[in-house]
Amino acid sequence: MTRFAKKMVPVLSVAVLGGASLAYAGYTSESAYCYKNTDGSGGCYGSFLGFQNHAGSSTQAYFYRHDSGSKSFYGAYTNTSTGVTTTGSCTPDAATGALWSKALTLSGYFNIQWDATGTCTYLYLNNGSQYSNF
């Protein structure tokens, strides 16, 4: 290694550390949104913290499991600019139903989508710390 390269190692190390990505510890993400297509398909995504704290009076989201074993999702999003509320609900197919117990205990971000028949066909869950309320 040349003398110049040896002298540059500490400089490069500091530069790399200075350019490191942000840490999200303590950062809380609040988001909420639901949409519905003309055929009835749609979805909701965001964090429960975001749905809870959203300014829209009817904005809410929940995963539900009845004692009988039936499962469902309901979401509503009120656009604060227009006052229009978009609602949607679904019952899970086998693949999304397998994640339902995790969805019931979720404290982070979710993305759920349903088809025109009202079947939940996609469910993504993220319990990252940025979605926690510290």
Contact yes or no for 51/76 (Cβ under 8 A): no
At 3 the pLDDT is 53
List, for residues 9-25, the tens digit of each pLDDT value.
Answer: 444 444 444 444 444 44
CA distances from 96 to 45, 65, 90, 114, 132 (A): 15, 13, 11, 10, 23
pLDDT of res. 5? 45
- pLDDT tens-digit map of 59-87: 999 999 999 999 999 999 999 999 999 99
- Specify the pLDDT at position 32: 96
**What are the extents of the domains in the chain?**
32-126
pLDDT of residue 125: 94
